[in-house]
Structure 1
Amino acid sequence: MRNLDLTSLRSFVAVVESGGVTRAAQAVNKSQSAVSMQLKRLEDLLGVALHERRGRQLVLTEAGDQLLVDAKRMLAINDDVFARMTDHAFEGEILLGVPSDIIHPIVPVALKRFHAEFSSIKVQLISSYTRVLKDKFKKGEIDLILTTETNLDVGGETLKQTALRWVGARHGKAWCVEPLPYVASRYCIFKNPSLQALKTAGINFEVLSHVDSDRAAEAIVTADIAVTAMLEGHHPEHLECIATKGKLPDLGAQKINIYGPLHESDYAQRLKDILGNAVRDI
């Protein structure tokens, strides 16, 4: 199987559209002799005459008319593929900060949708505590952040208010123990309001340990050694919200806020919109 040369086809189309070899040579940035040679090679390859002389005019033969239609289509496909594969207009990177306690199920859903629309954009996910993320955002180190907090700072937007719930092991009994065993990571933003709620309700409690990560606290809760506080709908499947029947105080609600993006771009704004929809759909 022999292949048609796209460069020769481009010269052939230029000759037809410009009305002659001289103008075509200028259009494709080649010499007249080079263009004439390309036309001759096409005719030799196909075994047909593409042009014929009628007086001083060079007109297409029937075979030339047919090739012109196919050549334009082939060149259009070539140019479209090349443009799409080499178009770097939307390449870039977004630094997204999200507290670890709300990564699931928000982030997987949002990133999947975003990647389908902007596959060439790299999203670097930074997981940390709300106060750390807000500090980095103020310093310009992160483009876009989600937070969990009771208030909203200037420039932010509240996407949803979600109940803060007591959480324990599935079918666990730790919440019935006195004093109430409680665990949370050292920097958990829900720790202080949870302990304050217990104090206000006059419930004795014991903070088992000040662990350094949410996963460590989660392990202790999973073992039914203690309880903790998490946003409703964001706890792991192996834990459950405790139906305390009034034995433990209500923890109120927390805001899920979004700040940014710091730089204006279509893709950054689109990621913000997708995150907002993902939060609201939970």
Structure 2
Amino acid sequence: MADLKSRRLEIDALRVLRAVKQHGGVTRAAEALGLTQSAVSHKIKRLEDSLDCALLTRRPKGPMFTALGLDLLDYAEKILAMHDEALLSLAQKDLSGRIMLGLTEDTTLTDLSRILGRFRRLHPQVAVRTRVRMSLILREQLEAGELDLAIMQMFDHEVRPTDEVLFQEDLHWVASPEFEMPAQGPLPFLSYDPNCFYRKWAMDFGQDAGDVLETVFECSSAAGISAAVKAGLGIALLNGRYVSPDIAMIDSRLPQPPRLSYVVRRARKTHNPALEGLINEIRAEIGRKGGLSLAG
């Protein structure tokens, strides 16, 4: 019994260490885990004592983790994934059925890909059919009963009380660092296709400051928009993860876009045990990590 308790404490400590990395510090990790800062620090210190090495540097302006701490993080991800999957495999009943799932391109680049892979291994009798579409199309397909569940983007003010928010991020006006905003005339706009709600907002509200947007490039893929921005073809609306040395946020004359939420939304009047099982998997991940993180 003592050995089992010790191993449980070690698993908890690894989960805390991972949270420190994910949330950028002890204080934020404590908030995400619902613990006090001293409790988080104590768990990490106990892990350091058991391993007889320092995992955090504890220098105000230095790197957060020591080299050994970074090495342990790599192992921690694998250990925690195997631990959680083993518990789920033993605890859950066999599920069967069919799930029609909708995802956006962006949501495929999150922890969700790993969660879906684990769900398929745990429940091989569940057939999951996935469509990757733009958010507005997924909403329409949910309303039409063509999907059981969609994981998609929307602006914060569009989130329903029944939606489950996975994570949030900001939307930015971006351009190549070499791009020069024209002093007069329309601004060249690099846009997703007409089914994109970014584009609809830009055309309905983004021109309120008096500037006119002229769509000069249209593409349904984030990779295509990113390439056009890097080439200096104009300005675009992109998530913060695409900001890089080749793609910079601009101090635009245009209004600040609303914040984005990534949500789980189910079809109305859907009663499907397999679907409930998948939603519970996502909920469990949110509980463990305080939200879902981007893989890319």
Alpha-carbon spacing, 1:275–1:168, altered in 2? closer, same or farther (3 Å): farther
1:238 offset after TM fit, Å?
A: 8.7
Q: Which has the higher strand share?
A: 1
Q: Deviations over 1:87-116 (max 9, x none)?
A: x95333321101223321243233233234
User: Does the alignment pair 1:254 with 2:260?
Assistant: yes
TM-score (norm 2): 0.53
Q: How far apart, CA to CA, are the structure 1 residues paired with 2:112 and 2:226?
A: 20
Residue identity in the other structure for 2:257: L
| 2:292 counterpart residue number | 281
SS of the aligned residue for 1:173 comes to: coil
Return closer, same or farther for 1:122/1:104 CA change in 2, 3 Å cut-off.
same
Structure-1 residue corresponding to 2:131: 126
Q: Residues 42-80 of structure 1: CA distance to partner in whole angstroms, max 9, x if unpaired?
A: xxxxxxxxxxxxxxxxxxxxxxxxxxxxxxxxxxxxxxx
Distance 1:116 1:89, change over 3 A: closer
Task: Give the AA of the match of 1:223.
Answer: A
CA-to-aligned-CA distance 1:220-259 (integer Å, 9 cap, x gap): 23423123213333x487964x332465532121222221
SS at match of 2:200: helix
**Quick one: structure 1 residues 219 and 158, their matched pair in 2 at CA, closer, same or farther if it must change by over 3 Å?**
same
Pick from 204, 219, 225 the counterpart of residue 217 of structure 1.
225
For structure 2, the residue ranges without an aligned partner over 5 or more in a row are 1-88
The equivalent residue for 1:102 is: 107
Count the aligned residue pairs: 191
Q: Distance in 2 between matches of 1:115 and 1:98?
A: 16
Where does residue 79 of structure 2 map in the other structure? none
In structure 2, do the counterparts of structure 1 residues 198 and 173 end up closer, same or farther at CA, with 3 Å as the change threshold? farther
Find the aligned partners of 2:145 and 2:154 in 1 and give their Cα distance.
20
Q: Which residue of 2 aligns with 1:166?
A: 173
Q: 1:263 and 2:263 equivalent?
A: no
RMSD (Å) for aligned C-alpha atoms: 3.4
Contact kept, 8 Å, 2:191 with 2:219, in 1: the verdict is yes
Greater radius of gyration (CA): 1
Partner of 2:202: 194
SS in 2 for 1:158: strand
Please tell me whether residue 272 in structure 1 is matched to residue 283 in structure 2: no
Query: What is the CA–CA distance in structure 2 between the aligned matches of 1:236 and 1:94, rounded to whole Å?
Result: 35
1:211: how far off? 3.9
1:206 to 190, 209, 214: 214
**1:229 aligned onto 2:226:** no
Q: Distance in 1 between matches of 2:226 and 2:215?
A: 14
In structure 2, C-alpha distance between the alignment counterparts of 1:274 and 1:90, rounded to whole Å: 13
1:94–1:222 Cα change, 3 Å: farther
What secondary structure is seen at the aligned counterpart in 2 of 1:228? strand
SS at match of 1:280: coil
Identity of aligned residues (%): 18
Q: For 1:257, what is the secondary structure of its paired residue?
A: strand
**In 2, Cα distance between the equivalents of 1:189 and 1:154?**
20
Q: Distance in 1 between matches of 2:245 and 2:95?
A: 40
Q: Output the amino acid matched with 2:98.
A: E
Q: Which runs of 5+ in 1 are unaligned?
A: 1-83
Describe the shift of the 1:168–1:140 C-alpha distance in structure 2 as closer, same or farther (beyond 3 A). Answer: same
For residue 189 of structure 1, report the CA deviation from its aligned partner: 0.9
Q: Secondary structure at the match of 1:141?
A: coil
